[in-house]
Amino acid sequence: MEAPPATAAEAVLADDLLLRSILQRLPPPADLLRAALASHRWCRAASRAAPLAPPLLGHLFHPVDTLPPTPIPSPANAHYPAVFAPLDHAAAAPRLSLGFAAHAARGFAIQDVQLGLVLLLPSELPKMLLPRVLVLDPASRRSALLPPPPRDAVPNDRWRRTRHVVGVAVLSRAHPSRLCFEAVCVAVDGDRPRAWVASVRDGDCTCDACTPPGTIYWHICNSGRLLALDPRTVELSFLLVPAELGMHFKKYRVGEAPEDGQLCIASAEDQQLQLWVRGDANGNDNGWVLVRQMSIHRVLNTVPSLPRDMMSRMLCTSLTDIDAGRTGKVFIDTEAYGRYSFHLETQKLERLVTDDGKEYGHPIYAYFLAWPPAFLAPSETGGD
């Protein structure tokens, strides 16, 4: 008995090129992941249809109340739980939430968001105390509470009043379907750096004092230098910022350039927005090259009630961050007049407010979907 002829749909789905073309047109990333579960062949097709870089889903932040304009005394701002703002407000956009761990996350503040994981530290703990680290996976709604780094991990370690916990960061993740990852906690004891790396395997945590991979940079308030942690020697060093910024005590922020992700510095002093990247071209300033400069005077004039005189505007306006989502935007705070995103190409200024009227707090963390390993290195073999 002959097999019935294939329908037009079956013929299309049997063609790998056509199947990949169809999967490329699925709008939400979650639909692409669901399609990958159909079979081994669909998984290979979905991995080739997926963009090389994980898609940006939105941003996480702690909302804050809008404060009254100066010189009215500003009350202490309440600490609100972190919320998620999707990049696409359409109905198909994912609605992630940290509410599944609302009780555990009470009193914690976000410190890092990488590889689909959110790391939080106690918001009121003194910086000299080694903290517990709360790790949340909003996609799978799982969590892990890591113990403080052990004191005996570093030989001859002793208590120092000058100890200062710098922060925590995600280093690697085995697979987004499991809570297996490595995170680093960095502290400075006087002039001595400390780095503890925690390895978590489905809830079981081991902690060692070792060298974190990749260079980590921190912005230092009121300084003309960046703080850098060398992963090969676990030593702290300083990286000079452009003298034009450092010598004149201008505010700046360090981040990644939107185009290629390389180290960059942004500043918005004197209503002039500048973007610097590392380079050795002629005329470089301490190893930095100015690649973009524009006036934002007219843009700031559109902010309702923002002071017009130069001195008052300088006091209440500052660039708070470069969007880690590499959307081409920077974030600008005007204190009592709102927080805004500014697009470097379109020069569009957009106020950042939640649905209940609160302001976006600082910092604002980009949340990317963590692709499974099969999406990063698809197999060439395997049946349906």
* 3-state SS record for 116-138: CEEEEEECCCCCCCCCCEEEEEC
- Asked whether the predicted pLDDT for residue 52 surpasses 70, the reply is no
- Is pLDDT at 118 greater than 80 in this prediction? yes
Q: What is the pLDDT of residue 211?
A: 40
pLDDT at residue 127 above 90? no
Question: What is the reported pLDDT for 212?
Answer: 41
What pLDDT was estimated at residue 186?
79
Nearest CA to 199 out of 210, 187, 207 is that of: 207
Percent of the chain residues topping a pLDDT of 90: 22
Contacts (Cβ under 8 Å, ≥6 apart) of 179: 135, 137, 140, 142, 144, 200, 202, 203
Least confident of 80-89, 221-230, 278-287: 221-230
Mean of pLDDT over the chain: 79
Please provide the DSSP assignment of 173-238 as one string.
EEETTTTEEEEEEEEEETTEEEEEEEEEETTEEEEEE-PPSS-EEEE-TT-SEEEEEETTTTEEEE
Helix (H) or strand (E) segment spanning residue 17? helix 16-23
pLDDT score at 367:
92
DSSP element (H, E) containing 139? none
- 366 with 112: CB under 8 angstroms? no
The pLDDT of residue 380 is 52
Q: Which residues contact 327 (CB under 8 A, 6 or more apart)?
A: 56, 87, 258, 343
Percent of the chain residues past pLDDT 70, beyond the cut: 75
pLDDT at 312 over 50: yes
- Over the stretch 68-82, which tens digit does the pLDDT of each residue have? 766 554 555 678 888
pLDDT per position as a tens digit, 18-45: 777 777 777 666 677 677 777 777 777 7
pLDDT on residue 378: 54
pLDDT tens for residues 341-357?
Answer: 999 999 999 999 998 88
Can you give the pTM of this predicted structure? Answer: 0.80
Greater model confidence, 121 or 283:
121
pLDDT of residue 341: 95
Poorest-pLDDT segment among 114-128, 146-160, 209-223, 345-359: 209-223
Residue 277 has pLDDT above 90, yes or no: yes
Q: Mind listing the pLDDT tens digit for each residue in 163-197?
A: 777 778 887 787 777 788 888 887 777 666 677 78
End-to-end CA distance of the chain: 24
Please report the pLDDT score of residue 199 as a whole number. Answer: 84
User: Of 14-18, 360-364, 380-384, which has the strongest mean pLDDT?
Assistant: 360-364
Q: Quick one: average pLDDT of 290-294?
A: 93
Instruction: For 132-148, write each residue's pLDDT tens digit.
Output: 899 998 888 888 888 88
